[in-house]
Structure 1
Amino acid sequence: MKKPTARDAIVKTAARLFYKQGYSNTGINQIIEEAGVAKSTLYQRFRSKEDLLMTYLDTTGSANISALTNAASTATNPKDKLLAIFDYLQERTTQPEFHGCHFLNLVYEMPEGEERARIEIKKQKDNVRTLFAQILKPIHQEQLADEIYILFEGALIGHKTHHDTWPIQSAKNTISKLL
């Protein structure tokens, strides 16, 4: 097995810390210490904490859309594909390491003017909307993608607020009624 590079260690550590304790509450010195690298090593690979954040958002976004696509692939028809995504979400939220949506957690703590991160978060969220539209295309219901997306986001926020899966189940019930 290939030994992780210093860059990999930095990204993995930053991702864990940004997700668990937030971007604003994570300092470069903590990332350096927990990744076991020198400050110069970090700055050779990332010009700034924001550059590290952008890598985190891109990596997490790719993993997220892949997981949602894989969940959808377990079903054969559009309705069941969407419900499978929400089943995946429900299962994911019961895991102890789940601390909410990576992107929603960050967007709420980003101050005005942090447009680079907001643009990347929007891109990742638009990828989810696009996935829903692709799933609905075979039944000519792409126009429902935004409604499904709002249910998805609402389920994430509801879970974060209530620490319960009922918002996800409620979203699934609504999808069943829509389709």
Structure 2
Amino acid sequence: MSKPRERILNTTMILFHQQGYNNTGINQIIEDSAVSKASFYQHFKSKDDLCIEFLDKRYAYWISELENFISGAQTVEERFLKSFDFLIFMNEKENFRGCSFLNILSEIPSEKVEIHKVIRSHKKALRDAFNKDLKDDMLSDHIYLLFESCIVTSQLYRSNELIKKTKSIVQGLLLSSC
């Protein structure tokens, strides 16, 4: 059996992603992790601290999966187009659950400053990566916004249709920029 902290994090990775932040209680995490309440609080001062660690681990997982998915791309254009294919792949893998960051953002009040800061930081890292690849702020931000909107709309409609259409739009944007 894994260590208590590991079990708590592994359980949280599933529950926060599948159920959301507000629908997942500390008692459920404790029970599903098979740890004591004292053990939980020994590792995490609060649910917010656990949420921050969840967001960090989820980002590391998601970015690693994205990088693996697009690793065979030969050009910047192909990297971007494959990134939209990645969204389709993740929707099928995770049953259109959407973005954990945006889901949690929609659940928490603005007073949870530290969680908001972590969400912004991870979203900024993705946005910066788009810009690094394209070296054109306007174009990279345009594609980044399309990418993020694809995540939200595919979750809303439980369909990859708009991702496929957006991929064609992005291809046109990339071709016209060269």
Structure 1 letter corresponding to 2:104: L
Bigger relative contact order, structure 1 or 2, given CA contacts below 8 A and separation 6+?
2
The size of the alignment, in residue pairs, is 174
Q: What is the deviation of 1:114?
A: 1.1
Instruction: Report the CA distance between 1:122 and its aligned residue.
Output: 0.8
Q: Distance in 2 between matches of 1:71 and 1:127?
A: 18
The answer to whether the Cα contact below 8 Å between 1:71 and 1:81 also exists between their aligned partners in 2 is no
Query: Match for 1:14: what amino acid?
Result: T
Q: What value does the CA root-mean-square deviation take over the aligned residues?
A: 1.4
Asked if the contact 1:154/1:167 (under 8 Å) is kept, the reply is no
Verify the 8 A CA contact 2:96 2:155 in the aligned structure 1: no
Deviations 1:60-113 (A, max 9, x none): 111122222222322011110001111111111112554111111111011121
Q: Report what 2:46 is aligned to.
A: 48
CA distance in 2, matches of 1:75, 1:13: 34
Opposite residue 81 of structure 1, the aligned amino acid is: R
Using the alignment, how far apart are the partners of 2:78 and 2:26 within structure 1?
A: 44
Is the contact made by 1:72 and 1:85 (CA closer than 8 Å) also made in structure 2? yes
> Aligned letter for 2:56?
D
Partner of 1:126: 124
- Structure 1: where are the runs of 5+ without partners? none
Matches for 1:149-168 after TM superposition, within 5 Å: 149-168=144-163
One-letter amino acid of the structure 1 residue matched with residue 172 of structure 2: K
Which amino acid is 1:22 matched to? G
- Aligned residues with identical type, % of pairs: 36
Tell whether the 8 Å contact from 2:110 to 2:116 is kept in structure 1 after alignment.
no
Q: Which 4+ stretches in 1 moved above 3 angstroms?
A: none
User: 2:35 matched to 1:37?
Assistant: yes
Deviates more, 1:112-121 or 1:95-104: 95-104
Structure 2: state its 5+ residue gaps.
none
Partner Cα separation in structure 2 for residue 38 and residue 171 of structure 1: 47
SS in 1 for 2:79: helix
How high is the TM-score relative to the length of structure 2? 0.92
